[in-house]
Amino acid sequence: MSIRQLKRVQMLFLWSVKPRYFQMINKKLNKSMSIKNKLNAALNTLKKSLDDEYLQGAFAKIEESINSLPDESASAGNNLPTPLLNPDEIAMYSDGACRGNPGPGSWAFIAQDHTGSLVQTASGVSEHTTNNKMELQGVIEGLNYLKGESTSYRKIFYFTDSKYVVDGITSWVKGWKKRGWKKADKKAPENLEQWQELDMLNERFNVEFIWVKGHAGHPQNELCDQLANEALDAQGF
């Protein structure tokens, strides 16, 4: 490969990353992890648009440099505020994301104990889904995680930016169940199976669902949003 070809690839790569980079520098949490994943996503996009066997060596060099960046995922929760909890309580946070509605989507959740330690983070992707489905799935996955834990928490504080989830589980579900899982118009609720699973989990645990405004600087909510979007990036969506 000529020097000219290598410079062309590097220039195109930098221009593809530049707008994403300036969006990321304002992130308050875990900047290095976001940059590393975003760079890989940008590189994958460039590979697809420049499918040329003569450029594979340049792509490999760029990918090697990206992967040499430190992965700070283990310290993702270092800057999170400590929730006000008793030792037998836990705080859960989740978020859903969708690129197109319907379209590819993802969920993510985190769990914090009374010391502020980030005891669990998880995320997942669905190729064709809706935003509401992913918001529901984030909560379901978080509560299912607690099912497998040896610690029995007296109370769970569950934070989400989805009014659909909070209003549904605290209000709508009661009426649906009285009518045999039917809405007032005698039709089944959308996402019925997810609502039924969430209802069973809610009955198993002592959960207080709390709505928080999304994209408003709430640290734990912002981290969940970040993890959900990184999961989509990693799958090339």
Which amino acid is residue 76, in one-letter code? A
Question: Of the residues 222, 225, 230, 233, which is catalytic?
Answer: 225
Both 63 and 139 in one domain: the answer is: no
Active site residue 71: no
Both 124 and 167 in one domain: the answer is: yes
Which amino acid is residue 92, in one-letter code? M
Residues 6+ apart with CB under 8 A from 128: 102, 103, 104
Both 214 and 151 in one domain: the answer is: yes
Active site residue 95: yes
| Contact present, 135 and 212 (Cβ < 8 Å) | no
Active site residue 113: no
Question: Of the residues 135, 222, 230, 233, which is catalytic?
Answer: 135
Question: Of the residues 95, 113, 222, 230, which is catalytic?
Answer: 95
CATH number at residue 208: 3.30.420.10
Both 54 and 123 in one domain: the answer is: no
Expressed as residue numbers, the domain containing 8 is 3-71
- Rounded distance between C-alpha atoms, residue 133 and residue 190, angstroms: 9
User: How many other C-beta atoms are found inside a 10 Å radius of the C-beta of residue 40?
Assistant: 18
Q: Measure the CA angle with vertex 171, ends 182 and 168; round to 5°.
A: 70
- Whether residue 44 lies inside any domain: the answer is yes
Q: How confident is the prediction along the chain (237 residues), in pLDDT tens digits per residue?
A: 455 555 455 544 444 444 443 333 233 334 434 566 667 667 676 666 676 676 777 777 777 777 676 554 434 455 688 888 999 999 999 999 999 999 999 999 999 999 999 999 999 999 999 999 999 999 999 999 999 887 889 999 999 999 999 999 999 999 999 999 999 999 999 999 999 999 999 999 999 999 999 999 999 999 999 999 999 999 999
End-to-end CA distance of the chain: 30
Both 182 and 210 in one domain: the answer is: yes
- Whether residue 77 lies inside any domain: the answer is no
- Whether residue 80 lies inside any domain: the answer is no
pLDDT at residue number 5: 53
Both 205 and 104 in one domain: the answer is: yes
Both 200 and 100 in one domain: the answer is: yes
- Whether residue 83 lies inside any domain: the answer is no
Which amino acid is residue 163, in one-letter code? K
pLDDT at residue number 75: 43
Question: Of the residues 161, 222, 230, 233, which is catalytic?
Answer: 161
Both 98 and 38 in one domain: the answer is: no
Both 129 and 229 in one domain: the answer is: yes
